[in-house]
Amino acid sequence: MTVAKRIDGKAKAAEFAASITRETATLLDEHGIRPGLAVVIIGEDPASQVYVRNKKRTAESCGFHSVQHKLAEDVSQTDVLQLIDNLNNDDAIHGILVQLPLPGHLDEQAITQAIEPSKDVDGFHFVNIGKLTAGHTSDAFVPCTPAGCMLMIEDELGNDLSGKSAVVIGRSNIVGKPMAALLLQVNATVTVTHSRTKDLPQVVAAADIIIAAVGRPEMVKADWVKPGAIIIDVGINRVEKTINGETKMGLTGDVDFDDVSTVAGAVTPVPGGVGPMTITMLMANTLRSARLAAGLEG
């Protein structure tokens, strides 16, 4: 029985974070610049609290100036936009991130688009989306999860995917669409699938590279997978798991890891795959923003 290579996102992220820490120290030493990251969190969503803590801890360990703004669940749109305006005009801040999802009374689009594109380290501003789609990424920010996925794919297959077919399952603005744009830039032949796609398993089974980002636990099975395919599992689903006879809530991906491991060439686990890379790419974008602001890149 074939056992797929387990792509260790945690180890890759740690290695990349170490290089970011070194570059940050050099930037401070040679130019007196410390990358600054401001994270805005609204309300008390438990998952968001965990993500924000992880981002703050990673930013501090990389040597960044790290700022956190906690706002009440019932904060007004005006107050959020005022905070973003203040951060846009703060020279010590190079990256601004508003943790999603937002409480229902706030306009997510108005808030994410209020962030200055040069500080939009999440890559959600329409200016950055447009540059990515057009292939002009020298001074643009790519969304962190797709950027991390690309690094893991390139580790396995190199940075020219000519002749490779890639299927993206999911068409979200955060993962699916930017992922397709990145794959096209490195010459992959890309198919974007979604809930309306006919014969989805058959479409996926033709792919050399599968990116699953749809939010359905263990949907992708071994019979969906071409032998030797590379699988990147972006899904994070909270499900009940029985461990040593005890039922607990646990995390699982959109891919049935054990099942596909009998066929695939390499696959990311959940947890420990894409997640750690996403946070590290946020740090990479913030460092790059600081360098761009200082005229050291671009």
pLDDT tens digits for range 271-295: 999 999 999 999 999 999 999 999 9
Is the sign of the CA dihedral 39, 44, 48, 49 positive or negative? positive
Residue 187 shares a structural domain with residue 255: yes
68 counts as catalytic: no
Question: Is residue 112 domain-shared with residue 155, that is, in the same domain?
Answer: no
Average pLDDT of span 255-281? 96
Contacts of 156 (CB under 8 A, 6+ apart): 5, 7, 230, 265, 266
Q: 172 and 66 in one domain?
A: no
26 within a domain of the structure (yes/no): no
Angle at 105 between CA 102 and CA 107, to 5 degrees: 65
Check 12, 120, 122, 226 and give the catalytic one: 122
Of 12, 99, 177, 208, catalytic? 99
pLDDT the model gives residue 50: 87
Whether residue 223 is contained in a domain is answered as yes
Domain membership of residue 12 (yes or no) is no
| 5, part of any domain | no
Nearest to 218 by CA among 182, 267, 265, 184: 267
End-to-end CA distance of the chain: 49
78 & 196 share domain: no
pLDDT in tens, 61-75: 999 999 999 999 999
- Give residue 45's pLDDT: 85
Alpha-carbon distance 166 to 160, whole Å?
Answer: 13
Same domain, 155 and 230: yes
3-state secondary structure of 169: strand
pLDDT band for position 245 (cuts 50, 70, 90): confident
Peptide bond preceding 269: is omega within 30 degrees of 0, i.e. cis?
Answer: no
Residue 180 lies in a domain: yes
| pLDDT on residue 298 | 59
Q: What DSSP designation does 199 have?
A: T
Same domain (yes/no): 57, 172: no
Q: Which amino acid is at 56?
A: K
The verdict on 94 and 148 lying in the same domain is: no
- The reply to whether 99 belongs to the active site is yes
Check 12, 55, 119, 164 and give the catalytic one: 55
Q: Is the domain of 104 the same as that of 154?
A: no
Its domain, for residue 223, covers: 144-275
Based on the domain organization, do 95 and 171 belong to the same domain? Answer: no
pLDDT in tens, 8-43: 999 999 999 999 999 999 999 999 999 999 999 999
Domains in the chain, number: 2
Q: Are residues 111 and 158 in the same domain?
A: no
Task: Answer yes or no: is pLDDT of 78 > 80.
Answer: yes
Which has more pLDDT, 249 or 78?
78
- CATH number, domain of 71, equals 3.40.50.10860
pLDDT score for 47: 82
Does residue 122 have an active-site annotation?
A: yes
Are 249 and 228 a contacting pair, CB within 8 Å?
no
